[in-house]
Amino acid sequence: MNRRIDVNAPEPSDSATPDKTPSKHFIRQAIDADLEAGRFDGVATRFPPEPNGYLHIGHAKSICLNFGLAKDMGGTCNLRFDDTNPVKEDTEYVESIQDDVRWLGFEWDNLHFASDYFDQLYDWAEQLVKDGKAYVCDLNAEETRAYRGTLTEPGKDSPHRDRTPEENLELLRAMKAGKFKDGEKTLRAKIDMAAPNINLRDPVMYRITHVPHHRTGDKWCIYPMYDWAHGQSDSLEKITFSICTLEFEHHRPLYNWYCENLGIHHPRQIEFARLNMTFTVMSKRKLLQLVKENHVTGWDDPRMPTLVGLRRRGYTPESIRAFCADIGVAKFNSTIDVIRLENSVREHLNSVASRRMAVLNPIKLTITNWPEGKVEKMNAINNPEDESAGSREIPFSGELYIETEDFREEAPRKFFRLKKGGSVRLRSGYIVDCHDVVKDDDGNVTEVLCTYDPETKSGEDTSGRKVKGTIHWVSREHARKVTVRNYDRLFKVENPDASSDTGSFLDHLNPDSLTTLTAHVEPSLAEAAVGDRVQFERLGYYVVDPDSTDGELVFNRIVPLRDTWGKIEAKGKK
């Protein structure tokens, strides 16, 4: 069972032990130790996305961690775009990332771009060349890989490794001036081609790319590699703790080498495990494939793990922050059950979402002893978890809709909903007794005939009757028709990436990840606005989709009330 989490948690900085005493994760412990030792005099972090795609739930963990540490410790957190690859970057992504960070509830202290530092990075590159610590190499990409060696075999020196600093400086300036073609030359750090860590085997610092940049235009035709730009950007911004995901652990020695050999401010890089989640893919390449091949409707498809997708699905920023706090910060990679994300939004919406009645798969219920033409207003509580939410009135008449699944002509003993010869309470209404049904020519029940007990009105019951079941309903005359999109998990297996040699993650797409139907809802929902979240009683949580118009509301299912997948999996294991 998942422990109860604080839905208002602003960031995943600390987790709570059973005695409610905060315990500090390993990153917080490392920061405390550095501050106590006097290595740094404060906390300055940053979130440095590349503007080449939309952020996903994995990025949310990093956002909450970096911004949360800064907030907890009275420090600062910058938003910096690592815009060093003009081929893949676009201002569309810059704007969406800023929107996502703000939506999650955070505000950066400073907004920066790696391109802000292109001039300084180039000057530092010339410094390393003059010091004999960098050289211009003529090997192409394939040759560079061949010379690099393997994890078990050392690399070979480039034929151009021993060029003089003067020759290298002249060539570097010619690269900058645009005198060479793409890929014709690179600038490489001169470290150690026999280093056990392949990242130290003379890594490329600059490559030639004759592509306009979204901010600098045609000023540059050489662009810094990530490892060259990353640490130096941290240094220029006086970042103290560079928090990265675990795949950068083996890049840390290079991060340190650049800072040490330039003699500049040296932040500390600390790595943590990235977020992997069941029934989900996080790879940008795979997410892009889903979009381009029309397996989803776009980056904001409610089945996508992108933040824009989760937002459209109806997830709240509070629930995502609570999820990040719940899963904590670890040193080793693991896979988090998506149920924990789903439970976080269930828990938050349970406390804040208004209750409304909606019938998705209707069958007509006629009350045969109801006074003809009478319409009665029933009082219904908006949210039993929030007394301040008040109540509303719902019209009740002699012809209703109930869920087809809530009626059985012949039912098993433990079926506590409505059956022929049985009784049930209508939520916020009366107890009804079923005495007959109407069938079509094929023998299918099309109408349920009941009588109501006038002494059993909810809140005013004087009958003393007790029934085991309560079901929801809407008045047939007053109900509004809406479109409902019942979203489910995009993949039908826990690990879509674990495909066979000849297969693909696409083989695991869930064909039932979206079901669209027309539902009947209580009339108060006619005034619902885009983004409004409600609980359809006994069914699940729903949000009004941006596709809604004045004439037609569209509701997306956020999550059902309970984890139906858990039941499916449990049956499969029996």
How far is C-alpha 181 from the geometric centre of its chain's CA atoms? 40
Residue 453 to residue 487: CA distance in whole angstroms: 38
For residue 259, the tally of other CB atoms under 10 A from its CB is 18
Contacts of 95 (CB under 8 A, 6+ apart): none
C-alpha torsion 464→465→470→473, nearest 10: -90
Q: Is 498 exposed, middle or buried (0-12, 13-18, 19+ CB in 10 A)?
A: exposed
Residue 447 to residue 437: CA distance in whole angstroms: 6
How far is C-alpha 47 from the geometric centre of its chain's CA atoms? 16
- For 555-569, letters b (16+ CB in 10 Å) and e give bbbbbbeebebeeee
At position 142, the amino acid (one-letter code) is E
Specify binding-site residues for L-glutamine: 82, 226
List the one residue out of 373, 362, 363 whose CA is nearest residue 420.
Answer: 363
Pairing of strands 222-224, 540-544: unpaired
Distances (CA, A) of 143 to 140, 157, 183, 192, 557: 5, 11, 11, 17, 52
Specify binding-site residues: 50-52, 56-62, 82, 226, 245, 274-275, 282-284
50 is catalytic: yes
Query: Which listed residue (24, 173, 284, 408) is catalytic?
Result: 284
Query: Which listed residue (71, 133, 173, 274) is catalytic?
Result: 274
**What are the tokens at 91?**
């201002």
284 is catalytic: yes
C-beta separation of 365 from 448 below 8 A: yes
**What are the tokens at 60?**
């949310």
Contacts of 49 (CB under 8 A, 6+ apart): 55, 59, 81, 82, 97
**What are the tokens at 240?**
């103290």
C-beta separation of 49 from 99 below 8 A: no
Specify binding-site residues for ATP: 50-52, 56-62, 245, 274-275, 282-284
The three-point CA angle 94-100-103 to 5° equals 140
At position 328, the amino acid (one-letter code) is G
C-beta separation of 93 from 52 below 8 A: yes
List the one residue out of 277, 279, 274, 275 whose CA is nearest residue 496.
Answer: 279
Q: Tokens 């645009």 label which residue?
A: 178
**What are the tokens at 303?**
């089945």
List the one residue out of 205, 229, 220, 254 whose CA is nearest residue 113.
Answer: 229
Query: Which listed residue (50, 167, 376, 447) is catalytic?
Result: 50
Distances (CA, A) of 184 to 124, 140, 146, 179, 180: 22, 7, 16, 10, 6
C-beta separation of 453 from 403 below 8 A: no
133 is catalytic: no
Pairing of strands 418-419, 407-408: parallel
| Residues with catalytic roles | 50, 274, 284
